[in-house]
Amino acid sequence: MTTILVTGGNGQLASCIKDVEKQYDDLNVIYTDYLELDICDLNQVQTFFKTNNQINYCINCAAYTAVDKAEIEVDKAFEINATGAKNLALACNEFGVVLIHISTDFVFDGNKQKPYTETDKAHPVSVYGETKMKGEIEIASVLQKHFLIRTSWLYSEHGNNFMKTMLRLAKEKDSLNIVSDQIGTPTYAGDLAEFIFYIIKAKSQDFGTYHYSNFGEISWYDFANEIFKESKIDIKLTPIATKDYPTFASRPMYSVLDKSKILKKFNIEIPYWQDSLKKGLLRFNLIS
């Protein structure tokens, strides 16, 4: 039986992994949150791996993802996203475990006007992006057997995300101003979870960095508009520029990810964002 450790076990992606895991009865999945496994403590990580010495894969969903707050809590963001990632990589290397690490489009500056490939130079414009880039570097420096998956605009029926925020705000307001000049791709976390299990079930040895997001490129305004259209919610939306919606952290203005490499290496189909949004909304309505 394959044993999988999932860190950040109460987060959005881990929750989707729990849903997808139900399809498989030959996997033993261990979910931990920071109270059960503090990835920032190397001794604790090593002890956990030693105690649970049958682990085959570690899916690192643990991350500091509060983009604006990271500009203030710089040390904490680096500790979780960089030091924590390194600690897991060190333990995986010591105990022969394959690491599947989740990273982000925020490692790019957004100045490119065509989709980013895995070989494009990382140049983050925020502390969050910088900490995630540092985590990537730390992993690659100590562990060969790793899959580093960059994704973008993650949402689902679980956790805190743009889709759920829009649906909540629609109950409180008659109109919303939504940024229309940041371009990227929404990614349904359930789709990403499916791909992660594909890697594991295929026992892939094609280690390295990959980009995974749904297909298509849109603005946050477009995304919000489709959420309300599919949900049959009548609300006034006004497109605004990033400069009119100031935030602590800068965002990449264009962060579409090129998926050519992942399609070439793996025999998978990646859904378009509109199709996955319908799926996410359906599942949200089932559990809400």
For residue range 208-256, list pLDDT tens digits in order.
Answer: 999 999 999 999 999 999 999 999 999 999 999 999 999 999 999 999 9
Whether 83 contacts 101, CB under 8 Å: no
Torsion angles phi and psi, residue 65, rounded to 5: -115, 5
Q: Which of 55, 44, 2, 16 is nearest to 203 (CA)?
A: 2
Is 128 an active-site residue?
Answer: yes
* Spans of all domains in the chain: 2-161+185-216+252-273
pLDDT in tens, 97-120: 999 999 999 999 999 989 999 999
The class (CATH top level) of 2-161+185-216+252-273 is: alpha beta
Number of CB atoms found within 10 A of residue 228's CB: 17
Cα distance between residue 227 and residue 167, in whole Å: 8
Whether 277 contacts 216, CB under 8 Å: no
The torsion angle over the Cα atoms of residues 254, 218, 263 and 150, rounded to 10 degrees, is 50
Q: Which of 116, 128, 155, 212 is catalytic?
A: 128
Cα distance between residue 209 and residue 192, in whole Å: 15
pLDDT in tens, 27-75: 999 999 999 999 999 999 999 999 998 999 999 999 999 999 999 999 9
